[in-house]
Each structure stands twice: as structure tokens, then as C-alpha cells.
Structure 1
Amino acid sequence: MKNSGPDGAMVFEPGYVEAEKGDTIRFVPVDPAHNSVSVAVPEGASSWSGGMNEEVTITVDQEGVYVYKCTPHQALNMAGVISVGDATNYEAAQNAVKTLTSNAATNKDRLTGYFSNVSAD
């Protein structure tokens, strides 16, 4: 969770992660005033809602697509995607990406770019 990175201002770095079922993902607040909150998770997976400036650790224990955002910077499309195995919840994740992107004031291509790495197969 950073104020700037290769993908622009207000970013998760990396913004797209391919993980294996059972992997642990850490959201580390490198810069202040960020959090990590799940927006879409596969069926049976746990959602999360990290506090401001809080490091969050999750285990991706279900196959599918996990979409997440930084609440105070969602207007800047500070969001990301984790893909685990088969995209079992592809449509729900795609709808979450569309909603976040349509509500964003800037960086409209960022999240859709991350999501384009996910295969609907």
C-alpha cells in the first residue's frame, strides 16, 4: 500500500497477484493513510476489512478471484486483484471491478488492466 509506484499514484504493489490455494498474502502499509478491504471473494472464502495503517495477512484458501480496495482512496481506483486457480467467481469479480472502475474519478484503466490477467476458463 503505497502513495506512488510504477502504476501511478495510490497503489497496491503489486496490483495483480497469481497465488496458489493456501498461500498467505500480506498487505503492508508502506505509506500512511491506507487500508485493505475485500470487495469480492470466492464462495467459502473469508472477507477482510483492515483498519487504517494496519498490516493485514490473509490466506487464500479457496480458488477464485479476490478483488480488494483501499477505502479512503477508492475514488483514485486504488484496488487490486488476486487470482487463485480457477476463476470460480469470475462474473462476480468482474462486476466488482466494473463498479469500482465506474465509481473511480481517476486511473480508470488500472483495475481493468489487472483483471485482464484473469482467465474466465
Structure 2
Amino acid sequence: MNQNRNHLMLTRSLLFAAMTSIACSSAFAKDWQVQMLSYGEKGPMVFEPDFIQAQVGDTVTFLPTQPGHHVASALTPDQQKAWSSKLNETYTVELTEEGVNLYYCPPHLMMGMVGVIQVGESVNKESLDQFYPSFRNKIALNPERVDAILEQVK
């Protein structure tokens, strides 16, 4: 009888520990807010912020603060699902994999409307370095601004 009671107490303790762990890990996840702007602190056609250092489990919500924008991933870590929103749509991305996510506003890529989300370590930096030159060739205005964003990747 005493053995059953000890087993029940142990089971309850383990269940409580597991529930606490789950609650704590989701409580520390952050929802980043990124504004899609026709004009911001760094000039025309920007995301603010344009660089985020996030963690696995965080989310990023893109807000069409000014009309005429949407967001699409250009490069993601291997297991991260690529994304693309609709025009003028609030859109949330769940960050499931460590690495660098390069994203842009499709109508305004040529104007340098680009951003980066680094999740944990930049495990796919080599892929980014190989991809970026051809991507950069599509940017007619403000390519230096995009270079500066990418220089933050560590």
C-alpha cells in the first residue's frame, strides 16, 4: 500500500516537473514585431527592425504598418519552412530552426527592402555567403544598407 502511494507521489511530481518545464519554455519565447514601412529611420522601403537575433521557438510578426508591402523568405535554414505573405497582410513566422533567415518585400526588393533574422548560431552562413551575391544583384537602390544588415550576422 505504501509502495503504491510512493509511486503515485513520484508520478505526480514528474508530471508537475514536465508541465512546469513546458510552461517555462513557452513563457520565454518572444514575439518580435517587424514593421513594413514605405519610409522609416533608415530611409525608403524598410523593415524595422531590419535585423533580429532570435531564439528557436520565437515568432516574428510582420506588420503592414504602411500599405503596399508583404514579406517572403529568400533563404532559410534547411529545415525552416519558407514563407510568403499576401499584400497588406499581418503575417507571423514561427522560428523552428537555428540559422539565418534572409527575407524581403517582393515589390520592393530592387529598392533594398530586405531584413535578416538570425536564430541562435548562423549554422547556414556558408549557404548565405554563396546565395547573397546573386540576390544582391537584384538590388538597384541601397545595396550598401543591405550589406550593413548582413554584416551583423555572426
Return the TM-score normalized by structure 1: 0.93
Gaps of at least 5 residues in structure 1 are none
Tell me how far apart the structure 2 counterparts of residues 77 and 100 of structure 1 sit (CA, whole Å).
10
Tell me how far apart the structure 1 counterparts of residues 51 and 66 of structure 2 sit (CA, whole Å).
19
Greater share of helix residues, 1 or 2? 2
Deviation at 1:96, TM superposition (A): 3.5
- 1:85–1:61: structure 2 CA closer, same or farther, 3 Å change rule? same
* 1:108 equivalent among 143, 151, 154: 143
Q: 1:32 maps to what in 2? A: 67
Q: 2:38 maps to what in 1? A: 3
Q: Aligned residues, how many? A: 119
Q: 1:3–1:11: 8 Å Cα contact kept in structure 2? A: yes
Q: 1:67–1:96: 8 Å Cα contact kept in structure 2? A: no
1:73 aligns with 2:130: no
The structure with higher relative contact order (CA 8 Å, sep 6+) is 1
Tell me how far apart the structure 1 counterparts of residues 97 and 39 of structure 2 sit (CA, whole Å).
30
Q: Which stretch of the first structure deviates more once superposed, 20-29 or 96-105? A: 96-105
- Return structure 1 stretches of 4+ with deviation > 4 angstroms: none
Return the TM-score normalized by structure 2: 0.74
Superposed CA RMSD in Å reads 1.0
- 3-state SS, counterpart of residue 116 of structure 2: strand
- 3-state SS, counterpart of residue 92 of structure 2: strand
Q: Give the fraction of aligned pairs with identical amino acids, expressed as a percent.
A: 35
